[in-house]
Structure 1
Amino acid sequence: MSIGFPIYFRLPDSFAKMGGMYLGTPAILKPRKVGDLEGTFFVPDYQRGYRWGEAEVRQLLDDIKEAGASNYYLQPVVVKPMEDGCWELVDGQQRLTTLYLILRSIKNYLPQSELRYTLTYETRPGSAEFLDDPQAEASSRNIDYFHMYEAFVVVQAWFAEQENATLAAINLFQALTSTVYVIWYEAPQEPEFDSRALFTRLNVGRIPLTDAELVKASLLSRIEREHETAAQWDSIERDLWSPEIWAFATGSSTGPATRIGLLLDTLADSISGKQPRHRVPFQTFETLRPHIVADPQELWDQVIDLHSLVLGWHDDRNLFHKIGYLVASGRATFFDLVALAQGLAKSTFEAALDSLIAKSLDLPWHGVAALTYGGTKTNRTLLLMNVETIRRNEHSSERYSFNAHARQLWSLEHIHAQNSQGLNTVEQWTAWLKEHRKALDALDVSSDEREALQSRIDAALPTISSDTFEPLHREIVALFTPGADSDGADAPEAADRDEVDSIANLALLSREDNSVLSNSVFEVKRRHIINLDQSGSYIPVCTRNVFLKYYDKRSAAQQLHFWGPRDREAYLEAMRATLDPYLLEDIPENDQLDESEEVAA
């Protein structure tokens, strides 16, 4: 879809009328060449920030290039003259900012080219200087600079992709000064002309404009301390862009361009009394608008209170982990938690959180111990085990990273795998044998025995098949599966299928990392986990503890390379101690109902 349109574009009635004031009859808009734009364009605080991404920037560049010598018309730029000679930019900020970044890039190839206009933001006093020299270091100062810099990088990349960047710059500059037009609409300068109202009417119905941006425009047009409110809005937005705060509150590592919408949506839902399953466009704005009109300061105070609530929960280590778990596991939303906290003292609220966590498991200890591979409740239990392990360490400032958790798809990893299920190709057989060949040096076997097995592996690899792989697989797995604990305690030669799939043999790992480790014995996985940890992969604390043999303090040195019955027992003991506050009371076996369906869940 092109960003431009034909010259015969007429002002819709909604553009010409705002409120009851008539601005004139619908008319053909006046085209103005981009090269003729001059002066300073002032972006007022009621405007949304710059938000064009790679798709929009490339679309504009490609459209202009494809238009060639033909006239190309951009959508309207709506301005209002200001007393100091600047233009108040009512609509068109995204286009003019992108055009400025393009002209700024052209100047790298054509130093004699001119930049005849500048842009400055009321909420970003240094924006003109930043646009003139976008730098990666400064882009982190605020979210608008970040998006401006990202767009600048896209423009530079576009030039670099052209067959002749200098020629592309010449052609683009010629087009911008001769055949590329903006549709110029100059609003009256009269004081009674309400540019904020026009901005709102122009943008209602445009998908890129969010409820939050409409709320901002409406709020700032009515509130007394509009500059202070705009600064507070900016500060709240910056806080919610913190990856850890956002993931803790929403369970997601990504979000909309305007993050304050979380608070506004929650406030609107609190007013309506329920959280909609599907939020329709402008539902939040329409819910809040009567309250903005009635008392803008009161509504804004409620937004500030919600912001303080989020930060308070985040800063409290206990609440952070309990709320973060409930959100990450899908057992509560931010709206649910705000509603739950209404009128409760902190201790009572925390007790209510504990009840929700217990309900998320809804199992006695024997039910937890019976959980197996493949169930959502197994995943949830291991997530809680990881979160609680960190929370309960009172002498540590470490926190569970819900942001890292939200960035990954998580799966259950067998701590020690024994079968070859899923190993079906020559590539898989070869990779498995090579990895396990390297791990043989960890075994306490004679050098002759080790070298003999390595020789048989080397001989089989060039012509590996299922017939040659399976005997080697069984032999290697048997060597890495303990027949007895090192202190002489009896243990089966190999765990049966139930033990392999038991929660005592499971840990959480990202699916990406898990795909590397599937069907490997404990020692091979232990080495991979260490490498992943060193390379910066997020390894949940209990998964790390498992592969560092943290839980069984009695194991001898040889046991370091195995995951045996004593390790599973110690892992379960730690799990029971950690999860105990959230477990249902065990009932005698004779009184128990059939729980197979619940365990499978």
Structure 2
Amino acid sequence: MPINNSNEIIAFHTIKDFEGESFFIPDYQRGYRWTEREVLDLLNDWNDFYENNRDGSYFMQPIVVKKRPDDDSWEVVDGQQRLTTVHLILQALNKKSAYDIKYAVLDNSSNNVADIGECQNTGDDINLYYMKQAYKMACGWMKGEEAKAFGADEGQKKKNLSNFIFNKIRFLWYRADLVDDSPGEKIFQRLNIGKIELTQSELIKALFLSNDNFTGDAVNRKEEFARQWDEFEAMFQNDEFWYFLTDGEGADSPTRIDFLLGMMTEIHSDMFEQKEISRENLDSRDGLFRAYYSVFRKNREQFKRIWDCAVDFMDIMRLWYEDVDMYHLVGFRVIDRESIPNLIKAWNGKVVSDFMTNDLVGPIVQRYIDDFDAQKTYGSSDTNGGWKDRKSEARGVLLLSNVLQVLRQNKSHEENQDYTQGIFYKFPFHLYKKQKKGSGYGWDVEHIASATDNDLDSVQDQREWILFAYLSLTDENRKEFNKAHRKSLCTFFSNETKSAGSGEEGVFSKLYESLTKYLGVNPPQPMSREEKNRISNFVLLDSATNRGYKNAIFPTKRLHVKDKERGRLRFAEWNKVKQEIEIREKDVKSAFVPPCTKDVFMKAYSNVVNNSMAWTAPDAAAYADYLTDLSDWFKEKYCPNN
């Protein structure tokens, strides 16, 4: 019998529903090209499914169709390979197919495809050749052990498989002409360029746009829904908004509104059938669509209320994104493994101040602020005199410090009568999360002063120190230094140079002494191992940069951090031909540098900068004081009664 409710945009249909229908495969599609391997994979998948779930429905990928007005048949825009394969398998079961298929590229195709087993000279047409191979594969499969779930003998197998195909296989039916008046070829190109199939959200959108949802003067409501949907998708496509809300998973999907649709099943589970929103079902193919489709079929008014709630949730998330306090606190809580659905549940039914106190500020203070101690050592000595490193435990408080520094700057501008403005600069959660996603590494807790002492004993470290010190000189100082030490430099950068104080009468020591005078620096007091493993000697640094310079000296790290942000590296190197140090620049891959990290290497927290070539104990103390003050500010600002 013909398809019931054929004017529905989307439906699930069994093969039995297709009885009496005719399908036309236009010439803009490639012909039938499924190989024996693909047919075998489908049959084996059916067997596995039937063995474990005999009463369940097996869902096939969508068939996209348009109604052909001239003969009342269906133009298949997408899905013809699947539709034809099922047609051929039924013939292998000695069952005449419930439906008819005609290929524009095949003469007398309706008769040939309907009885491929009797079709002669299939080698004359590539389409018929592949169809005959698929048919033979199905016939052989039925006789083998691979079809054992359907029965012990061939007769039983054919009976059970026929019943399974007619009644349990469900095609997702999508009438493209009811939502898109483009020619079938245009729709086909959109679906198949880059092999992009209809996403679940596109199918759900079609349900919401169904004409059954809009009667009478509700045309304006339909247009409003379409506008809202496009607006929300555009918001999610904005990486700043997307990464503020998520960990980035799903960023590569052509549609990101799936995040909102999935969130609805979690927050308003009472509006869906419980079995449809089980984790197992939602994680399965087309599971999200089936959850919405179930409500669509049974309760249209409830289905429309789901969208009204989704609009409310978008308003909440937009408010959070645009408010300076909410943006930074919600953004940090999400990184700290709190979910947006949980925060929205907490938001509903509360006044804003209670939500801020109980669900944003409270957990941050309890986990990070109350226990903050700038003198805490992140590690301990083991019984063998080694060091058990625990610096990764500082990652959360370091990230929080970066977020709070930006928030504090914003609040300062907001309270300045000359500005009286809100967001001056947002902490870029999208850059922080993209670094982890893009590099495959993420973020390291990096020692500012190297964890292991660098006494500049090796020639490599000595040369590195000389080059970076030279880079820090003024142009006038460089000229004087080159003139006074040209011979020593030539000796020092030759291959024969050994460690300072041996072989070359301490050439490095002389160069070191001269450069420190120009720079006005003195050798820093060494830090203990405990001091080097405190928060005052830690910063957040992207792993690629950190692992690139390894155990480098402080000025090397500073230069890498500064230049990595701008994507242009300035460096000094020895020119063997000219026999002199040259300053050069080159393009490098840029990276996001957290604000506190940048300020540390620029020594912005230090009260007095006495040594630009090392991270000193006074620098560390000033940094620790700043972090302590930042924690105190946050607690006083947002927890005044505690």
Q: Name the TM-score, length of structure 2 as normaliser.
A: 0.55
Of 459, 467, 477, the match for 1:438: 467
Q: Whole-Å Cα distance in 2 between the matches of residues 435 and 180 of structure 1?
A: 68
* 1:416-435 matched pairs, under 5 angstroms: 416-417=449-450, 419=452, 432=461, 434-435=463-464
Aligned equivalent of 1:414? 447
Partner amino acid, structure 2, of 1:383:
L
User: Which residues of structure 2 form unaligned runs of 5+?
Assistant: 1-9, 32-61, 82-124, 132-172, 180-190, 215-220, 380-388, 414-422, 436-441, 568-589, 637-642
Q: Which amino acid aligns with 1:24?
A: E
1:220 and 2:209 aligned? yes
Unaligned runs of 5+ residues in structure 1 are 1-14, 38-74, 96-177, 184-192, 424-428, 585-601
The one-letter code of the counterpart of 1:256 is S
- Secondary structure, counterpart of 2:66 in structure 1: strand
Match of 1:81 in 2: 68
Equivalence for 1:259: 256
Selected match of 2:430 from 382, 389, 403: 403
Q: 1:234 aligns with which of 221, 230, 241?
A: 230
Shift of 1:400: 0.8
Letter in 1 for 2:78: G
1:573 aligns with 2:602: no
1:18–1:198: 8 Å Cα contact kept in structure 2? no
Q: Is the 8 A contact 1:440 1:450 kept in 2?
A: no
Cα offset, 1:436, TM superposition:
2.5
Structural mapping, 1:180-195, within 5 Å = 195=175
State which of 303, 307, 312 in structure 1 corresponds to 2:310. Answer: 303
> Quick check: 2:469–2:613 contact (8 Å CA) kept in 1?
no
Deviations 1:90-146 (A, max 9, x none): 742999xxxxxxxxxxxxxxxxxxxxxxxxxxxxxxxxxxxxxxxxxxxxxxxxxxx
Tell me the equivalent position of 2:58.
Answer: none
Tell me the equivalent position of 1:248. Answer: 244
1:191-250 CA-to-partner distances (Å, cap 9, x unmatched) read xx9937999xxx9xx995544233222222242233332222111101111000000000
CA distance in 2, matches of 1:560, 1:298: 63
Q: Which stretch of the first structure deviates more once superposed, 390-399 or 366-375?
A: 366-375
Residue 398 of structure 2 is aligned to residue 382 of structure 1: yes
Aligned twin of 1:543: 597
The AA in structure 1 aligned to 2:318 is L
Counterpart position of 2:349? 343
- Cα separation, 2, equivalents of 1:316 and 1:86: 56
Matched to 1:572, the amino acid is A
Q: Which has the higher contact order (CA 8 A, sep 6+)?
A: 1
Letter in 2 for 1:403: H
1:391 aligns with 2:407: yes
Q: How does 1:589-600 map to 2 (within 5 A)?
A: none
SS in 2 for 1:561: coil
1:348 CA drift (Å): 1.4
Per-residue CA distance 1:368-408 (angstroms, 9 max, x = gap): 74346644430111100001100111226111111110111
Would the alpha carbon gap of residues 375 and 562 (structure 1) be closer, same or farther in structure 2, given more than 3 Å must change? Answer: closer
Contact persistence 1:33–1:179 (CA under 8 A): no
Equivalent residues in 2 for 1:484-495, closer than 5 Å: 493-495=525-527
- Report deviation, 1:346: 1.5
Deviations 1:43-62 (A, max 9, x none): xxxxxxxxxxxxxxxxxxxx
**Counterpart for residue 168 of structure 2:** none
Task: Deviation per CA, 1:412-458: give whole Å up to 9, x if none.
Answer: 2221226379x9xxxxx887555323113348999599779855641
- The alpha-carbon distance between structure 1 residues 357 and 19, as it changes in their structure 2 partners (threshold 3 A), is same
In 2, Cα distance between equivalents of 1:510 and 1:462: 37
**Residue of 509, 529, 544 corresponding to 2:561:** 529
Match of 1:341, as an amino acid? W
State the percentage of identical aligned residues. 22
CA distance in 2, matches of 1:228, 1:82: 30
- 1:33 aligns to what SS in structure 2? coil
Aligned to 2:43: none
Amino acid at match of 1:237: E
- Aligned-residue offset at 1:363: 4.9
CA shift, 1:36, in A, is 11
Deviation at 1:345, TM superposition (A): 1.5
Distance 1:31 1:366, change over 3 A: closer
Instruction: Give the aligned partner of residue 280 of structure 1.
Output: 283
- Counterpart contact for 1:237–1:260, Cα < 8 Å: yes
In structure 2, how many angstroms separate the alpha carbons of the residues matched to 1:467 and 1:30?
89
Task: Name the counterpart of 1:92.
Answer: 78
| Deviation per residue, 1:269-293 (Å, 9 max, x gap) | 1123799777422443344445445
2:597 maps to amino acid: T
- CA drift of 1:553 comes to 2.6
- Where 1:365 maps in the other structure, the secondary structure is coil
- Is contact 2:377-2:534 (8 Å) kept? yes
CA contact (8 A) 2:377 2:533 kept: no
Q: Which amino acid aligns with 1:503?
A: I
Is contact 1:411-1:509 (8 Å) kept? yes
Matched to 1:405, the amino acid is Y
Are 1:513 and 2:509 an aligned pair?
A: no
The CA distance in 2 between the partners of 1:256 and 1:194, in whole Å, is 21
Aligned partners of 2:377 and 2:530 also within 8 Å: no
Q: Specify whether residues 465 and 340 from structure 1 end up closer, same or farther in structure 2 by C-alpha distance, changes over 3 A only.
A: farther
C-alpha displacement of 1:23: 4.0
CA-atom RMSD in angstroms:
5.2
The change in CA–CA distance for 1:317 and 1:382 in structure 2 (over 3 A counts) is same
Does residue 356 in structure 1 map to residue 375 in structure 2? no
Match of 1:166 in 2: none
CA displacement at 1:537 relative to structure 2: 2.5
Paired residues in the alignment total: 423
Query: What letter matches 1:559 in structure 2?
Result: N
Q: Deviations over 1:291-321 (max 9, x none)?
A: 4452133111111111111111100111111
Give how far 1:267 is off.
1.0
DSSP-derived class of the 2:320 partner: helix
Q: 1:564 aligns with which of 606, 616, 620?
A: 616
**CA positional deviation for 1:516:** 2.6
